Chain A
Amino acid sequence: MQEIASWALNSASLKGAFYADARIVNERGRSLATKNGKIGSAADSESLGIGVRVIADGAWGFASSDDLSRKSVEETAARAVEIARASARVKQEEIHLAPESTVTAEWVSPFKIDPFSISVEQNLDLLLKIDSELCAVAGVTLAETNLNFKREEQWFASSEGANIHQTKYITGAGYAAYAFAGSEIQKRSYPNSFGGQWQNKGYELIEELKLVENARRTGEEAVALLKADRCPEGVSTIVLDSAQLGLQIHESIGHPIELDRVLGMEANFAGTSFLTLDKLGKLRYGSELVNVVADARPEHGPGLGSFAFDDEGVSAQCTPIISNGLFTGYLSSRETAHAIGSNRSGGTLRAESWNRLPIIRMTNVSILPGEKPLSREQLISSTDSGIFMQTNRSWSIDDKRYNFQFGCEMGWEIKAGKLVRMLKNPSYSGITTDFWNSMDAICSRDEWTLWGTPNCGKGQPQQVMGTGHGAAPARFRNVKVGSAYKGN
C-alpha cells in the first residue's frame, strides 16, 4: 500500500502540487438486525480505495478512486491537482498549514476479541434471544435489535514524509421495544437509543453490555409508558442520565467548538457557531462544575473519537474545552490553527472513508466526572423536586447552536429525593450557555460512561462520523420542560 501511496504523491508532485497526502482505506463491515422474531437484515460489506488531497496554486483539491492500479492512482492525483488549480481561481488568500513533525507509525486500537471471529450463528442467536425477551412482554408491538462490527484499516502518507498505518475495530449493539395503543406509540431502548452503544472495541463490548439481562425490563417500561402521566409544562429542576447528557454535550458543546464552523466554512449546511473567536478564554460557558475536554488519546477510553493520528497525520491530543466553566479551546486542524493563534493543529481532522475529504470532527468530547463521590441515587436523593429524564427520543438545535430542544423516552417525577411517578413524553429546552451555567451537580467517576455517537452528519457531500462523549448523570436548575407538546 505504501508503494500505491507513493504513486499518488509522485504524480501530484510532478503536476506541481505544493503539498499532497494520500489515504488508502480498506473497510470491512457486518450488520445484523432482527425484528419481531425474524432476521431483519444480514449484510457484509467491504470497500477499498484511495483519496488524494493536494495544495496547488495555494488552494485545495481532492480526488478519490476505487481503482488502485498505477494508471488510475496517478490520474486521480493529477485530477486532484487540476481541481486545486480550479479552486485557486476563487480564493482570498493562500492555504497555509501549521507545521507538524512527520512520523512513521503503526497503531491498532486495543481489542480483546476480533468481532469477525464470532460466528454469525452466535450473533443471530443472541439477537433472537433478546427479541424473544422483548416480545414476551404483553403490549410490546414491535421489537428491534441490531449488531454492527467494523474494521477500518488506513495507510496515510504525505509529501512531507509522514507514513502512518492505523487499524480500528468498532463494535455497536442495541435494541428497542415499541408499544402502540390507542393514539400513541411509546418506545424504550437499551443501552441507548438510535443504535445502542458503540465503542472502539472488539466483541468484548457485547459481553459487557448485558443485553439479554436488560431486555425484559426495557419492554416492560415501553408498555408502562402508555399509561404514565404526561410530563408537565413549566420550569423545573431536571436530572439527566449519562446517555442523554452525552448527546447534550455533542450538540451544544461539541459542534459549536468546531473551528471550521466558527470560521464560516460550514455556513451553507451544518451552520456556524455562536462561539466567535473573541469568546475564547472569556466566555463563562458553564458553572464551575463544568469541565469538558476533547480527548482523542486512547487513554481517554475506547471512544469512537479515539485514534493515534488524525487524517492529516497529527497525533492525538487532549484539548481543554471548558475549564471550571470558562471556555478555553476549539477543535482545530492544520489549516485553521492559526486563526486561534496556535502554531499546531489540535489533531481533529477526519474523513468518513477514502472517498471523502477530511474535515474537523469531534473526537471524544467529554464532561469530566465530579471529584467528590456522588452516585446517581445520591444525586436524586439530594433533589427536592424535579424530573429525571432518560434516553434520547428527539434532538434539535439551531444553526448557531444556541436554542436546543431534546425529548427523552422516559421521565420520572422526583419529590423529596425519591422517584415517585413515571412521566411520558418528557422534553426540555433552553439556550446553551444558560443551560450549562445552571448545572449544580454531577456524579463521580463510577457513574461516568464513554458513549458512542455513530451517526454524526456534517460536510458536503455529507459525511457520517463516530464521536465519543463521556458523561455522568448531572442536575440542572430552572430548565424549561414540556414545551415540545405545548399547544399540541
Chain B
Amino acid sequence: MLDEAKAGELFAHIKKHSSADEVEVLFYDVHSALTRFANNTIHQNVAEENQVISVRSVFGQRTARATTNRTDGESLQRVVQASESLARVQHQDPDLLPMARPEESGTGTVGAVRHFEQTAALTPQKRADGVEQIVKIAGDNRLTTAGIFSSSEISEGIFNSRGLQRWHRQTSSEISVTMLAQDSSGWQKANSPDVCHLDARMLAEVAAKKARDSAHPQEVSAGRYTVILEPAAVLDIVGFMFFDFGGLAILDQRSFLNDRVGKQIFGENINISDEVNHPLQSGAPFDGEGVRREHVPLIEKGVVKRLVYARATAQRVKKSEYKDKLGHVGPTGHGFPLPNEMGEAPMNIVFQTPDNPQTTEQMIASTDRGIYVTRFWYIREVDPYEKILTGMTRDGTFLIEDGKLRHGVLNFRFNESLLHMLSNVEAMGTPVRASGEESFDMVVPPMKVKDFNFTEVTKF
C-alpha cells in the first residue's frame, strides 16, 4: 500500500515538475476483494489493486485536474503537464480561492480506529469460510442464497504547495445475504471496518427467517399505511435529500431547502447531524481540499439549522442574498475535490438517539394495521422540490395486524414525499450503522411512520 512517506516523495517529484502557481495532489490506493455467491455457489470472486494520483494545477484564477494510475517518472510528468495544459485554457474563475493552508486542515486522525489488520489481511479462504456458513444455513432451510462477502484496505491523502498534508487509512468489510424461496425472499446486510464484527451466521439466519415467514405472499391493496422501516430502508430513502444540504445547491436553486432553512419542515423528533468522528461512522476527517470536517448539526427538532460549505461556496454565500437566511455560514470541510459542479454535501450522517427509543418488536406490537419493510429498491426522485420519491419494497415485506406480523405481501410501489414522511415519524429505535444499496452508509434508526403512500402493487 501507498503510505504517507511514499506519497510525500511522489508529491515532491510532482512539485519539482510543476510550473503552476499552486499545485495539489490527491492520492488514493485501494486493495479490495469481493467474494460473490448465488445458487449456493461462489460464482464470482475478485481482487483489485489500484492507486490513483490526481493533480490539480492553478494559474491565477484558473484551475483544472488530471488523473493517472501510473507512478513512473514519465507518467507523473505527463499528468502534471495535462493538468497545466487544461488549467491554462480555462476562463478566469473569480470565486477560486488560494489552496487551503495547513491550519485549515487540522491534525490527527478520527477518534475511532478505522484500520484493522485482520480486515486488511482477510484471505479468499476466510471469505469462503463465511460463505460456507451462509450456504449451510440456506441448505438447512431448503433455500437458495446469493450475496457477497467483501473486504478492502484504502489509503488516501492530500498534499498541496501551501504545505497542507493530510493522510487517512481505513479498512472495511461487508456481508450481504439474500435468501430465496419459491415465492419469497429475505435480506440482511452489515458492514464494519473490523471484519470480526461481522456475523455471517446471524445475518443468514435472519434473512432465512424472513424468506420463510414471507412465503406465499398475499396481495394487499395499495394505499396509505403505517409502515415500520428497518434501518437500511430508512437510509436508502432519506439519503436522497442530503445532496441538497450544501450551500451551492441553494445558490443554484436546485435544493428543496430553498426558502425552507430555519423553518419547521419535519417533525420535532427529527434531529440529524453530520459527524465524521462518530464511533459508528467511517471516512477521512478532511474534505476534497484537505479542510477539516466539522461536526455540523443539520436538523434540530425538525428545523433545518445549518448547511455544509466548501471554502469557495461559503465565500459566495456570504456575498449573496442568502447571507442572512441560512444560519451560520463558513467552511465546514465538506467540499468535493476541485473543480466540480456539486460543491459539497454531508456524507457522515448521524440520526440522534430519540428520547424513548423503541425496538422494532415494540413498534410492531403497537400497530393495529401496517406494513413492515425490510428494504427499498430502485428509488428515484419524482419531484425535486417536494422531494417526492418513488421506489419498490423488496426481500421481506409483511402485513402487520393487531400487533403481529401476519404474512408476507406482494411488493408495493411507493410515491412518498420526504417532507411528509419525516413529519409523520411516530417512533424510532436506537440508531445503528446501516448499509443499503441506494445511498451511502449512515447511522440511522428503524422508524415507524404513519400514512406512508403506497400507490401500486407488483406481481410478486
Query: How many whole Å from A61's CB to the nearest CB in chain B?
Result: 6
Q: Are B411 and A398 in contact (CB under 8 A)?
A: yes
Q: Are B90 and A86 in contact (CB under 8 A)?
A: no
Q: A396-B378, A485-B382 are in contact. Are A265 and B39 (CB under 8 A)?
A: yes
Chain B residues whose C-beta falls within 8 Å of the C-beta of A398 in the assembled complex: 377-378, 392, 394, 411, 413, 458, 460
Query: Which residues A69-88 have CB closer than 8 A to chain B?
Result: 76, 79-80, 82-84, 86-88
Chain A residues whose C-beta falls within 8 Å of the C-beta of B178 in the assembled complex: 267-268
- Of B46, B93, B420, which one neighbours A461 at CB under 8 angstroms? B46
Q: Are A35 and B42 in contact (CB under 8 A)?
A: no
- Chain A residue nearest in CB terms to B83: A44
- Of B38, B45, B67, which one neighbours A264 at CB under 8 angstroms? B38
> Which of A161-169, A340-348, A425-433 is near enough to bind chain B?
A425-433
Q: Are A64 and B415 in contact (CB under 8 A)?
A: no
Q: Are B382 and A44 in contact (CB under 8 A)?
A: no
Q: Are A46 and B68 in contact (CB under 8 A)?
A: yes
Query: Which residues A423-464 have CB closer than 8 A to chain B?
Result: 425, 427, 429, 431, 460-461
Q: Are A183 and B339 in contact (CB under 8 A)?
A: no
Q: Are B44 and A357 in contact (CB under 8 A)?
A: yes
Chain A residues whose C-beta falls within 8 Å of the C-beta of B420 in the assembled complex: 488
Query: How many whole Å from A7's CB to the nearest CB in chain B?
Result: 16
Q: Does B86 contact A (CB under 8 A)?
A: yes
Q: Are B385 and A183 in contact (CB under 8 A)?
A: yes
What 1/0 mask marks residues of chain B from 402 to 426 whose CB sits below 8 Å from any chain A CB? 0000000001010111001000000
Chain B residues whose C-beta falls within 8 Å of the C-beta of A461 in the assembled complex: 32, 34, 46, 150
| Number of A positions contacting B (CB below 8 A) | 89
Q: Are B341 and A33 in contact (CB under 8 A)?
A: yes
Q: Are B34 and A66 in contact (CB under 8 A)?
A: no
Cα–Cα, bound, A65→B83 (Å): 25
What 1/0 mask marks residues of chain B from 241 to 280 whose CB sits below 8 Å from any chain A CB? 0000000000011100010000000000000000000000
Query: How many whole Å from B409's CB to the nearest CB in chain A?
Result: 14
- Chain B residue nearest in CB terms to A76: B49
| Number of B positions contacting A (CB below 8 A) | 95
Q: Are B455 and A483 in contact (CB under 8 A)?
A: yes
- Chain A residue nearest in CB terms to B66: A44
Q: A39-B339, A185-B385 are in contact. Are A120 and B128 (CB under 8 A)?
A: no
Q: Does A212 contact B (CB under 8 A)?
A: no
Chain B residues whose C-beta falls within 8 Å of the C-beta of A59 in the assembled complex: 42, 45
Main secondary structure of the interface of B (DSSP, over half): strand
Cα–Cα, bound, A49→B47 (Å): 13
Q: Does A152 contact B (CB under 8 A)?
A: no
Residue picked from A268, A269, A356, A396, most chain B C-beta under 10 Å: A268
Chain B residues whose C-beta falls within 8 Å of the C-beta of A396 in the assembled complex: 378-380, 390-392, 413
Cα–Cα, bound, A265→B176 (Å): 14
Q: Does B388 contact A (CB under 8 A)?
A: yes
Q: Are B48 and A64 in contact (CB under 8 A)?
A: yes
Cα–Cα, bound, A236→B420 (Å): 29
Q: Does B22 contact A (CB under 8 A)?
A: no
Q: Are A485 and B415 in contact (CB under 8 A)?
A: yes
Cα–Cα, bound, A425→B381 (Å): 12
Q: Are B456 and A429 in contact (CB under 8 A)?
A: yes
Q: Are A394 and B341 in contact (CB under 8 A)?
A: no
Q: Does A160 contact B (CB under 8 A)?
A: no
- Chain A residue nearest in CB terms to B85: A120
Q: Are B339 and A403 in contact (CB under 8 A)?
A: no
Query: How many whole Å from A279's CB to the nearest CB in chain B?
Result: 14
Cα–Cα, bound, A405→B222 (Å): 15
Q: Are B339 and A267 in contact (CB under 8 A)?
A: no
Query: Which residues A339-381 have CB closer than 8 A to chain B?
Result: 355-357, 359
Q: Does B146 contact A (CB under 8 A)?
A: yes
Chain A residues whose C-beta falls within 8 Å of the C-beta of B48 in the assembled complex: 63-65, 355
Q: Are B82 and A42 in contact (CB under 8 A)?
A: no
- Chain B residue nearest in CB terms to A53: B46
Q: Are A267 and B146 in contact (CB under 8 A)?
A: yes
Cα–Cα, bound, A142→B253 (Å): 7
Query: How many whole Å from A176's CB to the nearest CB in chain B?
Result: 10
Query: How many whole Å from A322's CB to the nearest CB in chain B?
Result: 20
Cα–Cα, bound, A107→B97 (Å): 46
> Which of A89-97, A290-298, A468-476 is near enough to bind chain B?
A89-97
Q: Are B458 and A402 in contact (CB under 8 A)?
A: yes
Chain B residues whose C-beta falls within 8 Å of the C-beta of A64 in the assembled complex: 46-50
Cα–Cα, bound, A393→B390 (Å): 12
Chain B residues whose C-beta falls within 8 Å of the C-beta of A180 in the assembled complex: 253-254, 258, 385
Q: Are A42 and B339 in contact (CB under 8 A)?
A: yes
Q: Does B177 contact A (CB under 8 A)?
A: yes
Query: Which residues B105-127 have CB closer than 8 A to chain A?
Result: 123-125, 127
Query: How many whole Å from B45's CB to the nearest CB in chain A?
Result: 4
Q: Are B253 and A178 in contact (CB under 8 A)?
A: yes
Q: A185-B254, A402-B459, A488-B417 are in contact. Are A43 and B67 (CB under 8 A)?
A: yes
Q: A121-B89, A483-B456 are in contact. Are A86 and B49 (CB under 8 A)?
A: no
Q: Are B43 and A60 in contact (CB under 8 A)?
A: yes
Chain B residues whose C-beta falls within 8 Å of the C-beta of A10 in the assembled complex: none
Query: Which residues A242-280 have CB closer than 8 A to chain B?
Result: 263-269, 271, 274
Q: Are B45 and A487 in contact (CB under 8 A)?
A: no
Query: How many whole Å from B168's CB to the nearest CB in chain A?
Result: 21
Q: A42-B64, A268-B146, A405-B390 are in contact. Are A91 and B91 (CB under 8 A)?
A: no
Cα–Cα, bound, A84→B44 (Å): 9
Query: How many whole Å from B212's CB to the nearest CB in chain A?
Result: 17
Q: Does A101 contact B (CB under 8 A)?
A: no
Q: Does B235 contact A (CB under 8 A)?
A: no
Q: Are A39 and B91 in contact (CB under 8 A)?
A: yes
Q: Does B69 contact A (CB under 8 A)?
A: yes
Q: Does B315 contact A (CB under 8 A)?
A: no
Chain B residues whose C-beta falls within 8 Å of the C-beta of A126 in the assembled complex: none
Query: Which residues B45-70 have CB closer than 8 A to chain A?
Result: 45-51, 63-70
- Of B147, B379, B415, which one neighbours A268 at CB under 8 angstroms? B147
- Of B41, B90, B127, B386, which one neighbours A42 at CB under 8 angstroms? B90
- Of B64, B177, B252, which one neighbours A142 at CB under 8 angstroms? B252
- Chain A residue nearest in CB terms to B94: A38
Q: Does A198 contact B (CB under 8 A)?
A: no
Chain B residues whose C-beta falls within 8 Å of the C-beta of A18 in the assembled complex: none
Q: Are A49 and B253 in contact (CB under 8 A)?
A: no
Cα–Cα, bound, A286→B262 (Å): 52
Query: How many whole Å from B312's CB to the nearest CB in chain A?
Result: 11
Q: Are B453 and A487 in contact (CB under 8 A)?
A: yes
Query: How many whole Å from B222's CB to the nearest CB in chain A?
Result: 9
Q: Are B35 and A86 in contact (CB under 8 A)?
A: yes
Q: A121-B89, A185-B384, A487-B453 are in contact. Are A86 and B125 (CB under 8 A)?
A: yes
Q: A178-B254, A403-B459 are in contact. Are A41 and B382 (CB under 8 A)?
A: no
Q: Are B253 and A141 in contact (CB under 8 A)?
A: yes
Q: Does B340 contact A (CB under 8 A)?
A: yes
Q: Does B450 contact A (CB under 8 A)?
A: no
Q: A39-B91, A268-B148, A488-B415 are in contact. Are A67 and B36 (CB under 8 A)?
A: no
- Chain B residue nearest in CB terms to A34: B341
Q: Does A184 contact B (CB under 8 A)?
A: yes
Q: A49-B50, A87-B35, A264-B144 are in contact. Are A269 and B44 (CB under 8 A)?
A: no
- Chain B residue nearest in CB terms to A45: B67
- Of B66, B386, B390, which one neighbours A183 at CB under 8 angstroms? B386
Q: Are B253 and A43 in contact (CB under 8 A)?
A: no
Query: How many whole Å from B62's CB to the nearest CB in chain A?
Result: 9
- Of A38, A359, A403, which one neighbours B413 at CB under 8 angstroms? A403
Q: Does A117 contact B (CB under 8 A)?
A: no
Q: Are B377 and A271 in contact (CB under 8 A)?
A: yes
Given contact pairs A265-B44, A403-B413, A485-B388, a sample of 14 additional A-B residue pairs in the complex whose CB atoms are under 8 Å apart? A45-B67, A63-B46, A87-B43, A90-B131, A124-B91, A183-B385, A264-B146, A265-B43, A265-B146, A396-B378, A398-B460, A405-B456, A460-B34, A486-B415
Give 12 A-B contacts (CB < 8 Å), ordered by A residue.
Answer: A41-B65, A43-B64, A44-B67, A45-B68, A60-B42, A86-B123, A119-B89, A124-B89, A268-B178, A396-B391, A399-B392, A486-B415
Which 3 pairs between the two chains have the least Cβ-Cβ distance? Answer: A86-B124, A40-B341, A403-B458
